[in-house]
């Protein structure tokens, strides 16, 4: 017993001692102020490791290279301009911090970028505004870095002449959060990267939102991807996890919300996939787990090609997609073991009370067929005339070849626990109030009309 206490005390003193160790770098750490008429590169070269450079407002021309662990903090309005040549900032040391700069005008060659991380770790890139560069941030074989709160924009041309917002080439354990990326080629490109976490970023008006190649163990949460060609492009990757992302308005002719190609073990949960040309696309995907997503108002809800094995789709809401699911060239089962999905064009009833309809849902309606030959007739989507037509046609078993089916379709949409409760109560009460106002005013007019004369 006493020995345990002794050990505890020892640990305690150890900690105290640890706190007061005069660390080399700390002792020498200095705050240096850099004015706009000084040469920034020289100031960096003269700094000691651990120093903090406060960069005053002004325009600093020329690229810089940082090869020791220092902190660069911009006062508001400090601009580093690469003069259209090479990389604007090259980081070649661990533990560098870059904060609050406007970084602009990189070169246009190969992988020129706003900030290049060259085989380093523990770097923090925070609150910078990066524009007019080929790549925003290029991380080459770098690990455990934090990239957050940055605004990134590439050149104002076609996306084929731009670089990626954030490019991760090898390396692992990077955190990327709260960045706003637009007008680049791919928002965030993971090339052979692993164990990274991406949160709360937005990517707009680019080619792909997130692009995964040969990457694994990456999780993405609450990102907002919109108006790109494709939202998530996932190729030859595995063990990815996506939660609560919003993937909307990928309206390009060949645009996809999430495209999975030759990948395995992808988990997609509680995302909102709206208004894309195709919501989800699977080609040679294995062991994907798609659960509780809202897949709505897409041109095509879900699409399959090639060999897709062991994929589970369960409790998703497929609502108002013009074509809910395209017919595939192989049999596709859309439901999980316990539950299937909600399809808003499914019309059968739940007789046993378990929330599951008694007749399987089959993809591919007569309207899908009509649309293929007359794409412009989409103008009459769900209109009274088309509705009557497809009802009439469905009475004849002319197209019973649908091979994409859900054996356990849900009869009611899945309720996601997303909104706040308070708000809901309020909207419900106003529903009652509106209802009462409408009915009573109508009754008032009715009575008044009747009573006259």
Partner 1 sequence: MSIYKIARQQLTLIMRSKWLGSFGMLFALLAVFVTYFGNSGQSGYTGFSRMTASLLNLNLLLIPLIALLIGSLFIAGEKEDRGLMLLLTYPVSVKSVLVGKYIGLFLSLWSVITFGYGAAAIVMFIGNADTSISVMFLFYFLSLLLAVFFLALSMMIGLWSRTRFQALGMSLIVWAISVLFYEFIVMGLSIFVTKEWILTLLSISIFLNPVELIRVWAILSLDGASVFGPNLYDLTVWANGWLGQCLFVIASLLWVTVPFYFSHLFVKRRIGNE
Query: By the criterion CB under 8 A, which residues form the site for partner 1?
Result: 251, 253, 272, 274-275, 277, 294, 296-299, 317, 319-320, 322, 342, 344-345, 374-388, 412-416, 418-419, 424, 427-432, 434-443, 445-446, 449-450, 452-453
Of residues 180 and 244, the one with the C-beta less far from partner 1: 244
* Residue with smaller CB distance to partner 1, 61 or 391: 391
What are the structure tokens assigned to 312, written together? Answer: 């589970």
Q: Give me the least distance between CB of 447 and partner 1, in Å please.
A: 9
Nearer of residues 76 and 423 to partner 1, judged by Cβ = 423
Q: How many CA atoms lie within 13 A of 268 on its CB side?
A: 33
Who's near 74: CB < 8 A, 6+ residues apart?
55, 99, 100, 101, 102
CB closer to partner 1, 12 vs 444:
444
- Residue 246 CB, shortest distance to partner 1, in Å, is 11
CA distance 386 to 378: 10
Residue pair 188/219 in contact by the 8 Å Cβ criterion: no
State how beta strands 404-406 and 361-362 pair: antiparallel
What are the strands, taking DSSP E only, across 262-352?
A: 264-269, 272-274, 278-283, 289-291, 294-296, 300-305, 312-314, 317-319, 323-325, 332-333, 342-343
Residues 164 and 185: beta-carbon distance below 8 Å: yes
Q: To the nearest whole angstrom, how small is the minimum distance from the Cβ of residue 295 to partner 1? A: 9
Minimum Å gap between C-beta 381 and partner 1 is: 6
CB of 412 to partner 1, least distance (A): 7
Of the pair 110, 415, the CB lying nearest partner 1 is at 415
User: Least distance from C-beta 374 to partner 1, angstroms?
Assistant: 7
Q: Return the number of the residue (9 or 392) whose C-beta is nearest partner 1.
A: 392
Of the pair 109, 419, the CB lying nearest partner 1 is at 419
SS3 content of the chain, % helix, strand, coil (to 5): 20, 40, 45
> How far, in Å, CA of 282 to CA of 333, rounded?
13
Q: How far is the CB of 419 from partner 1 (least distance, A)?
A: 8
Shortest distance (Å) from residue 341 CB to partner 1? 11
DSSP string for residues in 60-96: EES-EEE-S--EEEEPTTEEEE-TTSS-SEEE-STT-
Provide the minimum distance between the beta carbon of 357 and partner 1 in the complex, in angstroms, as a whole number. 14
Nearer Cβ to partner 1 (258/296): 296
Contact 60, 40 (CB under 8 A): yes
362/324 Cα distance (integer angstroms): 10
In angstroms, rounded to a whole number, what is the distance separating the alpha carbons of residues 325 and 368? 10
**What's the min distance (Å) between Cβ of 156 and partner 1?**
22
Q: Which residue's entry shows tokens 């494709």?
A: 230
How far is residue 403's CA from residue 400's CA, in Å, rounded to a whole number? 9
**Which stretch of DSSP H or E encloses residue 383?**
none
Among residues 18 and 349, whose Cβ is nearest to partner 1?
Answer: 349
Q: Give 87 or 324: the residue with its C-beta nearer to partner 1.
A: 324
| Residue (359 or 388) nearer to partner 1, CB | 388
What sign has the CA pseudo-torsion 32, 33, 35, 40?
A: positive
Beta-strand relationship, 256-261 and 278-283: parallel
CB of 345 to partner 1, least distance (A): 5
- The smaller minimum CB distance to partner 1, of residues 122 and 344, is found at 344
Please state the closest distance from residue 292 (CB atom) to partner 1, in A: 10
Beta strands in 244-384 (DSSP E): 246-248, 256-261, 264-269, 272-274, 278-283, 289-291, 294-296, 300-305, 312-314, 317-319, 323-325, 332-333, 342-343, 361-362
Rounded CA-CA distance 443/253 in Å is: 51
């Amino acid at each position: 017993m006493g020995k345990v206490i002794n050990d505890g005390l020892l640990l305690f003193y150890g900690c105290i001692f640890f706190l007061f160790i005069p660390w080399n770098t700390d002792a020498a750490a200095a705050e240096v102020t850099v004015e706009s008429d000084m040469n920034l590169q020289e100031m960096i070269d003269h700094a000691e490791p651990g120093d903090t450079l406060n960069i005053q407002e002004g325009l600093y021309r020329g690229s810089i290279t940082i090869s020791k662990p220092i902190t660069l903090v911009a006062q508001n309005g400090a601009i580093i301009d690469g003069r259209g040549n090479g990389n604007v900032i090259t980081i070649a040391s661990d533990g560098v911090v870059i904060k609050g700069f406007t970084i602009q005008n990189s070169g246009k060659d190969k992988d020129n970028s706003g900030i290049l991380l060259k085989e380093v770790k523990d770097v923090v890139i925070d609150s910078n505004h990066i524009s007019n560069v080929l790549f925003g941030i290029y991380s080459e074989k770098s690990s455990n870095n934090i990239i957050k709160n940055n605004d990134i924009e590439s050149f104002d041309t076609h996306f084929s002449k731009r670089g990626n917002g954030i490019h991760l080439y090898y390396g692992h354990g990077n955190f990327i959060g709260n960045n706003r990326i637009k007008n680049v080629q791919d928002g965030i490109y993971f090339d052979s990267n692993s164990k990274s976490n991406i949160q709360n970023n937005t990517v707009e008006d680019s080619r792909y939102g997130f692009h995964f190649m040969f990457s694994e163990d990456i999780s993405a949460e609450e990102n907002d991807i919109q108006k790109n060609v494709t939202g998530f492009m996932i190729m030859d990757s595995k063990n990815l996890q996506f939660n609560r992302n919003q993937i909307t308005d990928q309206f390009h002719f060949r645009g996809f919300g999430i495209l999975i190609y030759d990948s395995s073990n992808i988990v997609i949960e509680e995302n909102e996939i709206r208004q894309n040309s195709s919501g989800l696309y699977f080609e040679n995907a294995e062991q994907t787990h798609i659960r509780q997503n809202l897949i709505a108002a897409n041109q095509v809800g879900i699409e399959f090609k090639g060999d897709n094995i062991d994929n589970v789709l369960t409790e998703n809401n497929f609502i108002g997609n013009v074509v809910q699911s395209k017919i595939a060239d192989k049999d596709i089962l859309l439901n999980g073991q316990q539950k299937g999905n909600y399809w808003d064009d499914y019309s059968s009833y739940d007789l046993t009370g378990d929330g599951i309809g008694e007749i399987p849902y089959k993809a591919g309606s007569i309207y899908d067929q009509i649309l293929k030959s007359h794409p412009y007739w989409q103008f009459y989507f769900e209109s009274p005339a088309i509705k009557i037509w497809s009802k009439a046609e469905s009475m004849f078993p002319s197209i019973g070849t649908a091979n994409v089916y859900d054996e356990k379709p849900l009869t009611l949409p899945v309720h996601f626990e997303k909104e706040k409760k308070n708000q809901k109560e309020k909207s419900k009460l106003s529903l009652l109030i509106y209802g009462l106002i409408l009915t009573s005013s109508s009754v008032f007019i009715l009575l008044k009309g009747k009573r006259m004369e």
